[in-house]
A and B are shown apart, each in its own frame.
Chain A
Amino acid sequence: MSENLNNEIFTIGIGGAAGEGVKYVGNNIGLLLRDLGFQIYLSLDYPSLIRGGHNFVRLSASVDKIWNDHAKLDILICLNEKTAEIHKSELKEGAWVLEGLNNEEILGKVREFLSTKGLADFASGSVAPKGELIDGNTAFAKGLQMAGLDFYFAYPMTPSTSILHYLASKQTKEGLKVIQPENEIAVINMALGSVYTGKRVAVGTATGGFALMQEAFSFSGMAELPLVLAVVQRQGPATGVPTRSSQSDLRFVIHAGHGEFPRIVLAPGDPEECFKAGIEAMDLAWKFKSPVIVLLDKALSEHIMTVDIERLTQLSLKATAGEENANIIFPGTPEKVVKVTSYEHDEEGITVDKPEDVKTAMDRRFAKGEKIKEEMNNRETIKIYGDTSSKNTIVFFGSSKSPILEAAKLLEKNIKLVQILWLEPFDSEKLKKEFEGMNKIICVEANHSGQLASLIRERTGIEVTDKILRYDSLPFEPEELALQINSILK
């Protein structure tokens, strides 16, 4: 790995105890750099406690698009004594270590640093900002708002809680309502009660909370109630490492709920895709009267990027809403009776158990599943980056997009990058085409068992040639990832 990766990328670390303002200082530096026209990526590492411990914000900035923060620091800002000791091995040669400064002094030092790096144009404020600083959860919540969200139900659980906080602050007297019920089981059942009356509804939780929702998730499939679920992965199993990231629940969500029923699972990989997924999920839920999961993870949910949300909002204004709902009847309609049930039922909603009636009902729901598969032709189910003529490819989903796209800047050979955005249904045909004639197919994912690799084999018959797995609760680092990929491609 070259020490001097890219002169235009610089990285600032801020460390201190929980409660000492690490995030505050990090955000202020982020805002300053954004205002000066930089693109930034800000990551946040913190333990599950309120005061003390060690919190660390790391922020990389670049004049060009930056997908991920880097490990080596140009500036280390120490809000307590321990920080310098903990992070000394991460310093670049000649890095600045700042101690005992207040917020204003820190920002002044950052400006000074820019001048010494020949970025004075930026420091003078003559470059226009490239967008807003936004994390995946907030972007997703903004997408839901764009899609006409009426109700959001959630029980607090890291790392999904910031969706609850954001939407709670956006409530209006007659519009959006946010409700925090007694537990996750109440969350999803309340949500289904609201959907029954015709409201556009979402719930959000971490994967542990989603585990509690399984029976009602299955009910939403059985009763064909349109519901959007944000499911945020964190390092498990069980309570696991609550404030750290993971991609170990891919298999869990695509198979979630007992019994068999169609569902849609979307896996955005950055805040921009989270925003779009919020809109698309609600649209799909109502179009197909189906539960739709948007699978997130801690890194995606909480890490911050520069996104031109204004442009995205304008692009999305024309999208979604209305038409598909026209033929659905809700309670309160004169002369109509609306029956919803968790039992197997006929089209009137009356319980059935004759084998031929059961089969008819199953076939009816799975005919809808086929329609969802056809819908994939109109949707961006996979995305391709990098060198499309390369005979080597990296395949991934979710938040791994960030470190992989950043690592791609550092690779010795050009490579094709394939991101999977729809995990269920799975776009086997498109993927098979992308994998045709490949020498190396490297699957990168943050779990122990290579869940995406096994899913690819199951749905396409293609075995990836190499796997890069990480399951220590931290997201991939671009530099380290680039080294691993380079050694595979040697």
Chain B
Amino acid sequence: MAELNLSTKAKITWCPGCPNSQILVAFRKAVTEMVENGSLKIENLVAFAGIGCHGKISDYINVNTFTSLHGRLIPAMTGSKCANPNLNVIGFSGDGDSLDEGIEHLIHAAKRNSDITLFMHDNRVFALTTGQFDALSPKGFKGKSSPFGSIEEPLNPLLLLLSAGATFIARTYAGDIAGTKKIMQAAMNHKGFAFVDIIQPCITFFDTRDYFKDKIYWMDEGLPKNDLKFSIEKVSENQNEKVPLGIFYQVERSTFEEELYKSR
């Protein structure tokens, strides 16, 4: 088999030191291993992206990509998956991209359990537009559009997706490349809607690296993953103290695409 080359001619334009580069490395490693162990055909991989810093990733990976509009990658992903169920459909999105602009699509994709995987670059700020509060910014966040501090409470995306019906929910930290790679692979191998929250501090507009450094920890892998009540409690824990990483929830349920071809 020819050596897998996942790089492109495009010059990387993320800020030097941006954790997005670590997500890129983790993804390339995840894909390379999956192609090598035969669990993925590279031509069947389709990577979608929204608009925001995360979205630049499509230019940096030599695989099929579909760079959608801001917030609109999820319906496009479902459209591709139901049109060709052989494709492994994954998407890169941001918290602004999928929890502000396109939140209805996120909820409905989870509801219909579309067999797609979403990696959400979670920087808790609108970065590419130079630093405004978004759906995940903490109350009091000071940015150019909220000079006196944001007056809104943030969403809890994992809790939201659990209630919407997602069948795979995980969180990882961009700085932990090995851990992120492993979670990405588990998500891509999951049948059904998989949501991965990748904490990705924005080093320019909301540098949370020190904040998360001491708080993140990997959950015991032996914890139950199919107990909705337990998972709801786990994702609801106060993040001011500890931030658990790992798979919170994983169950099997028939997918939208299976149902589509089962019925007339």
Which residues of A line the B interface, CB within 8 A? 150-151, 153, 171-174, 177, 179, 181-183, 185-187, 189-199, 201, 215-216, 219, 330-343, 348-351
A192 touches which one: B41, B63, B79 (CB < 8 A)? B79
A219 touches which one: B41, B69, B260 (CB < 8 A)? B69
B43 adjacent to A332 (CB under 8 Å): yes
Contact stretch, chosen from B32-40, B83-91, B151-159, B224-232 = B83-91
B76 adjacent to A192 (CB under 8 Å): yes
Q: Using CB atoms, name the residue of chain B closest to A349.
A: B65
B87 adjacent to A190 (CB under 8 Å): no
Report how far A179 CA is from B82 CA in the complex, Å: 10
Other contacts beyond A196-B79, A350-B8: 20, CB < 8 A = A150-B83, A151-B82, A171-B264, A172-B264, A181-B78, A182-B104, A183-B104, A192-B79, A193-B76, A193-B79, A194-B79, A199-B83, A215-B69, A219-B68, A332-B43, A332-B84, A332-B87, A333-B43, A339-B58, A351-B59
Q: Using CB atoms, name the residue of chain B closest to A182.
A: B108
Which residues of B (186-200) have their CB < 8 Å from a CB of A? none
Q: Is B75 at the interface (CB under 8 A from chain A)?
A: yes
Residues of A with C-beta under 8 A to B87: 197, 331-332
B75 adjacent to A189 (CB under 8 Å): yes
Report how far A19 CA is from B68 CA in the complex, Å: 44
Q: Is B72 at the interface (CB under 8 A from chain A)?
A: yes
Known contacts: A185-B72, A186-B104. The answer to whether A331 contacts B44 by CB under 8 A is: yes
CB 8 Å contact bits of B47-77 with A (1 = contact, 0 = none): 0100100001011001111111100110111
Report how far A198 CA is from B83 CA in the complex, Å: 8
Q: Using CB atoms, name the residue of chain A closest to B78.
A: A190
Q: Using CB atoms, name the residue of chain B closest to A172.
A: B264
Most buried by B among A177, A195, A201, A337: A337
Residues of B with C-beta under 8 A to A216: 69, 72
Report how far A95 CA is from B147 CA in the complex, Å: 76
Report how far A340 CA is from B64 CA in the complex, Å: 8
Q: Is B46 at the interface (CB under 8 A from chain A)?
A: yes
A185 adjacent to B264 (CB under 8 Å): no
Residues of B with C-beta under 8 A to A338: 64
Residues of A with C-beta under 8 A to B10: 350-351
- B255 to A: closest C-beta gap in Å: 14
B108 touches which one: A150, A186, A194, A342 (CB < 8 A)? A186
- A308 to B: closest C-beta gap in Å: 29
Q: Is B105 at the interface (CB under 8 A from chain A)?
A: yes
Q: Using CB atoms, name the residue of chain A closest to B80.
A: A193
A196 adjacent to B66 (CB under 8 Å): yes
- A and B contact pairs by CB, cutoff 8 A, 30 listed: A151-B83, A179-B82, A179-B260, A181-B75, A182-B105, A187-B75, A189-B68, A189-B72, A189-B105, A190-B78, A190-B79, A191-B79, A192-B68, A196-B76, A196-B79, A215-B72, A219-B69, A330-B84, A332-B87, A333-B43, A339-B65, A340-B65, A341-B65, A341-B66, A342-B67, A342-B68, A348-B9, A350-B8, A350-B9, A350-B59
Residues of B with C-beta under 8 A to A183: 104
Report how far A173 CA is from B262 CA in the complex, Å: 7
Residues of B with C-beta under 8 A to A341: 58, 65-67
Q: Using CB atoms, name the residue of chain A closest to B51.
A: A342
B69 adjacent to A334 (CB under 8 Å): no
Residues of A with C-beta under 8 A to B64: 331, 337-339
Report how far A350 CA is from B8 CA in the complex, Å: 9
